[in-house]
Amino acid sequence: MASDKARFYLEQQVPELREYERKQIFTAAEITAIAKKRSDFEHVLNARGSSPGDYVRYATYEMNLDSLRKKRCKRLGVKSSAAHGGQRTVFFILDRATKKFPGDLALWVQYVQFCQREKAAKKLAKVFTAMLRLKPREWGLWVLAAKHYAEEQGDMMTARSYMQRGLRFCRDERRMYLEYAKLEMVYLAKLSARRKILGLDEERKEPVEGVAGEEGDDMMMLPEISAEDIDPEANKGVEEVNAEALKRLASAPAYTGAIPLAIFDAAMKQFDNDTGVANDFFDLVATFSSVPCSRAILDTIYERIQTLAPGSADQIICDAKMRVFGVSLTSVEFPAALSQSLAVIKSGLASVAPAGQSKLAENTVMYLLPFTMQKDELDEGIVRVLEASIKRYLRVFVENTRGGSEKVKTLPGKLRNVSKEAEAEALQNYVQSMG
């Protein structure tokens, strides 16, 4: 039975192999080798005990074969009627793989990546749909789909739709909210850059409006925005939006920061006004200093933290970060801004309880560390201040944390968990220097 199925699949490929021989894309010996390799793979796949790895190896072989075929056709000046044959073969293999092993996440991700590489938009939409039906609680898959439509297709409406649906299934995953906010901030950064290129930047007098609507049972209510807010004549990606459209967009909720604030409000409601969540949002928005509305968003987040936990480690570190936000490392204002920032932390450290001192010390180290990664742009005196401060607050962390001498060794791992390898390595060196 297994061999009959394998033979059936192999017979479907005979016309393709004959064309390769007729147009001399591959030699007779190479075609024989291709047929044998496919036969071996098909018999393994159709026998009992096949694994996801078997399908991956077969798909990888076909990808490499198709790449070689394209290069041969280009060099020989040959047009092959099987131009998309390799793509269809890989799709067929991955279709079978995901049907046999629907729970294997790695297979689905490989399928998505192949569709993206081949720019097969219609196929990719079907793969996303099938994958998310099977894995609705995998928050990273919703983010993967949303990022594809936002970054590759320039389709924020569809991207938002994926994130909204993802939050229905992953309401208790804080990273989902942060990724949604990041998606919106990246979009705002692109719009801001486009406006700057077109010379449309001007001082906006309108403050950030309050968030429209309340969160429903299943969906987060966002400020109203449609394609017509951007361009009433077309549904375009960011790169295609013209000057008039960008002028109209300047006063739309999507540009004034209301959507990131709606996401922030929803997250705070979901996580019972946890100031740690607010701190995470603050750090995220602070990385987008070029976005005009970032300062207003940060002000709102900071006010919420100050209201919920005045004098807490979260409030103190955010206050310190506000002092340097938007200040260039190479500007003459930076030394004074950094001095004020460190003064806020030093003053706050004396007013919080030991547990708060531990948290504030850890947050301070994580806050100062990125500056040391840009030593070439900083004066030597500032670098020495930063390094001394990091060592000082590492000692504070050890002194105010139960089992601090061991806990401090785990701090670099937190950075590695978020793919900050260079910073983790630098922190590891500081920890080791403590002896």
pLDDT digits (tens, 9 = 90+) for 311-358: 999 999 999 999 999 999 989 999 999 999 999 999 999 888 888 899
pTM: 0.81
Quick one: CA torsion of 219, 207, 295, 318, rounded to 10 degrees? -70
Short-list 410, 409, 402, CA closest to 354: 402
Q: CA Rg, the chain, in Å?
A: 27
How many domains is the chain built from? 3
What pLDDT sits at residue 100?
A: 93
Provide the H-helix boundaries in 47-173.
Answer: 52-76, 85-100, 105-117, 121-134, 139-147, 156-169
What is the rounded distance in angstroms from the CA atom of residue 107 to the CA atom of residue 79? 32
The C-alpha angle with vertex 274 and arms to 171 and 389, in degrees rounded to 5, equals 125
Alpha-carbon distance values, 100 to 27, 94, 376, 424 (Å): 35, 10, 54, 40
A 10 A CB-CB count for 354 gives 12
Final residue before a domain boundary, out of 46, 80, 101: 101
> Is 417 found in the same domain as 293?
no
Give the list of residues 6+ apart from residue 34 with CB closer than 8 angstroms, or none.
Answer: 17, 20, 26, 65
> Is 306 found in the same domain as 250?
yes
Residue 10 forms part of a structural domain: yes
State the chain's mean pLDDT as an integer. Answer: 85
Final residue before a domain boundary, out of 101, 134, 155: 101
Residue 285 forms part of a structural domain: yes
% pLDDT > 90, the chain: 60
Short-list 372, 364, 366, CA closest to 329: 372
Give the list of residues 6+ apart from residue 214 with CB closer than 8 angstroms, or none.
Answer: 221
> Is 298 found in the same domain as 405?
no
Residue 123 forms part of a structural domain: no
What pLDDT sits at residue 53?
A: 93
> Is 259 found in the same domain as 203?
yes
> Is 297 found in the same domain as 180?
yes
pLDDT tens-digit readout, 157-215? 999 999 999 999 999 999 999 999 999 999 999 888 877 776 665 544 444 444 433 44
Residue 180 forms part of a structural domain: yes
> Is 190 found in the same domain as 87?
no
> Is 288 found in the same domain as 245?
yes
Q: Which residue ranges in the chain fall short of pLDDT 50? A: 203-216, 224-241
Residue 315 forms part of a structural domain: no
Residue 294 forms part of a structural domain: yes
The helix or strand, by DSSP H or E, that contains position 1, with its residue range, turns out to be none
**Domain membership of residue 28 as a residue range:** 1-101
Final residue before a domain boundary, out of 52, 73, 101: 101
> Is 84 found in the same domain as 17?
yes
What pLDDT sits at residue 243?
A: 56
> Is 202 found in the same domain as 291?
yes
What is the rounded distance in angstroms from the CA atom of residue 250 to the CA atom of residue 338? 32
> Is 48 found in the same domain as 80?
yes
Residue 282 near residue 264 (C-beta atoms within 8 A): no
> Is 304 found in the same domain as 187?
yes
Residue 126 forms part of a structural domain: no
Residue 127 forms part of a structural domain: no
> Is 303 found in the same domain as 180?
yes
